Amino acid sequence: MARPDLVERSLAEYTGVQSVVLDRASSRLAVRYDKARITLTDLEHLLTTLGYRALQLQTVQAAQASL
């Protein structure tokens, strides 16, 4: 399993990933990406390759809609 800071940097290097923010206190990773250049499935695969897995995914729009 890669160190969390390496996960953040590794994801940020991929084409289509616009920003990556790791909140170490909550162990959450926020990724902004261009859906035309990289898919959610690709991001999940990258996390798996680094030794992690996505437990829950939601978009900003879905989060705002629930408010």
Which pLDDT score is estimated for 59?
57
> Taking residues 2-31, what's their average pLDDT?
84
pLDDT over threshold 80, residue 27:
no
Do 6 and 16 meet the contact criterion of CB atoms below 8 Å apart?
A: no
pLDDT above 70 coverage of the chain, percent: 78
Copy the structure tokens of residue 46.
Answer: 């990258």
Domain range summary for the chain, segments of one domain joined by +:
4-56
CATH class of 4-56: alpha beta
CA distance 34 to 29: 16
pLDDT score, position 52 = 81
Contact predicate 20/29, CB 8 Å: yes
Which backbone phi and psi does 46 adopt, to 5 degrees?
A: -60, -45
